[in-house]
Amino acid sequence: DVKVTQSSRYLVKRTGEKVFLECVQDMDHENMFWYRQDPGLGLRLIYFSYDVKMKEKGDIPEGYSVSREKKERFSLILESASTNQTSMYLCASSEWGAGEKLFFGSGTQLSVL
Amino acid sequence: DAKTTQPNSMESNEEEPVHLPCNHSTISGTDYIHWYRQLPSQGPEYVIHGLTSNVNNRMASLAIAEDRKSSTLILHRATLRDAAVYYCIRDNYGQNFVFGPGTRLSVLP
């Protein structure tokens, strides 16, 4: 079975901390994505990557950066966490090309106090 | 604009068919239409997708309008386990899936 694994289900951090959210996929997918989900707003794309060391901004990249050093791993970095970054973060992956399915992880609920 | 438009919520009775509509009036000729659903406390899961023709799988059917400006996800017999938020998405060559707020489906016993 295909798998997208996010390192933590729940995370609590302090304002100003540097936060790393890790995502690993075992399907050899080219594309990986980070979304955040807030009540009433659906999923919003933060960043995506279509290859190792490649990244593209999504709709809401401000305050975030990403790293993709290996094909299977895509990290989301909050350089200096703020309370408005409290959210559910979802990682996804897909093969390259049109019409390919997205596979999601279970999500990380991040609380910034 | 890669967004789609869906009703905020819908209700269905158990074991009845459900038709979930989606408008994508600015869709381009090469955009696929995907449907995902999200059960409580889970990440979204794939339901179905298509380009021009209607599609069927074990979970649902997808009916795509001839002009491709709208589509309908059909659950043939709703069960309580189908209660979820359903997202209709345009696939811009697999690189920028844009999710809207989706449709929250309630299934009544």
A101, A103, A106, best to mutate vs chain B, most B CBs in 10 Å:
A101
A39-66 pLDDT, tens digit per residue, is 878 889 999 999 998 999 998 999 999 9
- Average pLDDT for chain A: 93
pLDDT tens per residue, range A16-39: 999 999 999 999 999 999 999 998
Q: Do A45 and B102 touch (CB under 8 A)?
A: no
Mapped onto helix, strand or coil, the DSSP state of residue A98 is: coil
Q: Which of residues 29-48 of B touch A (CB under 8 A)?
A: 30-32, 34, 36, 42-46
Beta carbons of A90 and B87 less than 8 Å apart = no
At residue B28 the predicted structure's pLDDT band, cuts being 50, 70 and 90, is confident
CB contact under 8 A, A98 and B44: no
